[in-house]
Structure 1
Amino acid sequence: MPSKLESLRKHTLIVADTGDIAAIRKLQPVDATTNPSLLLKAAQQEAYSLMLDQALRASAGNFDPIADACESFAVALGAEITKLVPGRVSTEVDARLSYDRRATLAKARRLIERYEEAGITRDRVLIKIAATWEGIQAAAELEKEGIQCNLTLLFSFAQAQACADAGIYLISPFVGRIYDWYKKSEGRDFQGIEDPGVQSVARIYRYYKHHLYSTVVMGASFRNSGQIEALAGCDRLTISPALLEQLAHEEGNLPVSNILKQPSSDPLETLNESTFRWANNEDAMATEKLAEGVRAFAADQAKLEDLMRLRSVHA
């Protein structure tokens, strides 16, 4: 009998949710995603010391050398990942720009420019942007320029609707964080297809397929393997090394989940800015988790800059 991971690969493209080069080399995913929290974790490991020092040297003399060094480190790590995966690496725009369309555009273009300077073509990179209204509008412009995007921190159906209408390449709805909110709010646990995070991704998936949107649905932020198994058959799933290892060591067949096969009951709807903001406002979970996620990624970006600043002093 195949492992659950082998079985899952038959229906779903597997993406590694990590910046750990060794883990990616071992697990051999098709794509890999990074974010400020994962970059911070990598920067604290001795294995990345040389990469950090090179980023600092390359950024010396720039207007904002610390911010530039962090950006250089993110691209350098992403470039290394592209040597290990046949597909793409996702690199995130600074979360502190989540509500600034123009600044998001400028940062995204700069990241692609740096990748291309490193010899990595834009078709190997996805630019990660928080799925705020401003972020979605920036991503819509980038898509028209041939810069494909991964819209992250996605918790609401309205966010998914707006991303599809904007022609976004890929979205990352956060299963685990939705689960966390409902578990705390209702004071109980959820299993399998009754999990609110699983149900959210399945609803989006069915809506996209029913209305023939090409936007890829990539479930993210898993808390346990049961959530992954309940979404077998989703376009893509980005999974932590620990859960990938668990699935690789468990035997079992994972057919396409029945929750993904059900017909969509959501009519086609196009949102403008006011209807988007109202729909998110009406979803307490999405409102809270989006704001919390932006703050957390911004905090880790600041910590990465502090680490880089301290390193530059002692260099």
Structure 2
Amino acid sequence: MKFFIDTANLDEIREAYDLGVLDGVTTNPSLMAKEGISGHDNVIAHYKAICDIVDDNVSAEVIATDYEGMLKEGRELAQIDDKIVVKVPMTKDGIKAIKTFTAEDIRTNCTLVFSAGQALLAAKAGASYVSPFIGRLDDIGFDGLELIGQICQIYDNYGYTTEVLAASVRHTMHLLQCAEIGADVATCPLKVITSLLNHPLTDKGLAQFLADHAKANG
């Protein structure tokens, strides 16, 4: 499974990269705003700064909601760096834009996916990634993990190369269950990734080893 970090914070991205397990970054306008990044030129520069940290897979989201606007923005984003994946919303115009981007060899991430039918359309249009939002589904009483399983099964049935990118991953169990189901990627906050490091028996065992070493060496 690939690990993406869902943030626009450069310090968090560096920390995740330095850990040695980071495969990419996902961002959106809300995350940019959270970091105080506004204005076209500043946003473009921030995406470039992210690309300079990581090895690949930086999802940069279009703001436009119409087909022509998405194409204009997406092409500009793709010019920033070869690592950019253009993030496009799951709409009729979004699907059309994904098809066009695919023909132009521009990678895409179809975002705001909440059903298997939407995921099927994205794959048929040639999306590189599809992003089902499992946490948001859980919030309204639906099983987000069940959706991940449905999409994985459909893609396996027909050999689609679109990767399932589990988004809105809220905690460690979400992450591990996505891995069990077969999601190709999980994107989540840094704290979810680093929480995988923790186990009380590890802490207890390390403390015992250190105590025994100290005792043996006076």
TM bin, normalised by shorter chain, reads 0.7 to 0.9
Report the secondary structure of 2:112's partner residue.
strand
Match of 2:9 in 1: 20
State the shift of 1:223 in Å.
2.2
CA RMSD after TM alignment: 1.7
Instruction: Find out whether 1:74 has 2:43 as its counterpart.
Output: yes
- 1:131-150 equivalences under 5 Å are 131-150=90-109
Match of 2:54 in 1: 85
Q: 2:152 aligns with which of 205, 208, 218?
A: 205
How many residues of Structure 1 are paired with residues of Structure 2 in the alignment? 195
Match of 1:242 in 2: 191
Instruction: Find out whether 1:164 has 2:133 as its counterpart.
Output: no
Match of 1:151 in 2: 110
State the shift of 1:222 in Å.
1.5
Instruction: Find out whether 1:106 has 2:95 as its counterpart.
Output: no
The answer on whether the counterparts of 1:71 and 1:111 sit within 8 Å (CA) in structure 2 is: no
Letter in 2 for 1:24: I
Q: CA 1:74–1:250 in structure 2 vs 1: closer, same or farther (change >3 Å)?
A: farther
CA distance in 2, matches of 1:131, 1:157: 12
Q: CA 1:86–1:93 in structure 2 vs 1: closer, same or farther (change >3 Å)?
A: same
The answer on whether the counterparts of 1:174 and 1:219 sit within 8 Å (CA) in structure 2 is: yes
Report the secondary structure of 2:25's partner residue.
strand
- 1:249-264 equivalences under 5 Å are 249-250=198-199
Match of 2:23 in 1: 30
State the shift of 1:156 in Å.
1.1
- 1:19-58 equivalences under 5 Å are 19-28=8-17, 29-43=22-36
CA distance in 1, matches of 2:176, 2:124: 29
Q: TM-score, normalised by structure 2?
A: 0.84
Structure 1's consecutive aligned runs of 4 or more residues displaced over 6 angstroms after TM superposition are: none
Q: CA 1:84–1:248 in structure 2 vs 1: closer, same or farther (change >3 Å)?
A: farther
Q: TM-score, normalised by structure 1?
A: 0.59
CA distance in 2, matches of 1:172, 1:243: 18
Letter in 1 for 2:93: E
User: Quick one: percent identity of the two aligned structures?
Assistant: 30
Report the secondary structure of 1:109's partner residue.
helix
CA distance in 2, matches of 1:198, 1:219: 9
Match of 1:216 in 2: 163
Letter in 2 for 1:35: N
State the shift of 1:218 in Å.
0.5
State the shift of 1:251 in Å.
7.6
State the shift of 1:87 in Å.
1.4
Gaps of 5+ in 1: 1-11, 44-51, 53-68, 184-195, 253-315
Match of 1:177 in 2: 136
CA-to-partner distance for each residue in 1:124-181, whole Å, 9 max, x for gaps? 1101011111101111101111111101011011110101111111111101001101
CA distance in 1, matches of 2:108, 2:29: 16
Letter in 1 for 2:120: Q
CA distance in 2, matches of 1:151, 1:243: 23
CA distance in 2, matches of 1:250, 1:22: 25
Pick 1 or 2: higher relative contact order, CA cutoff 8 A, min separation 6: 1
CA-to-partner distance for each residue in 1:47-83, whole Å, 9 max, x for gaps? xxxxx6xxxxxxxxxxxxxxxx623222211211122
Q: CA 1:80–1:251 in structure 2 vs 1: closer, same or farther (change >3 Å)?
A: farther
CA distance in 2, matches of 1:246, 1:38: 21
Report the secondary structure of 1:72's partner residue.
helix
Report the secondary structure of 1:129's partner residue.
strand
Q: CA 1:159–1:251 in structure 2 vs 1: closer, same or farther (change >3 Å)?
A: farther
Instruction: Find out whether 1:231 has 2:178 as its counterpart.
Output: yes
Higher helix share: 1
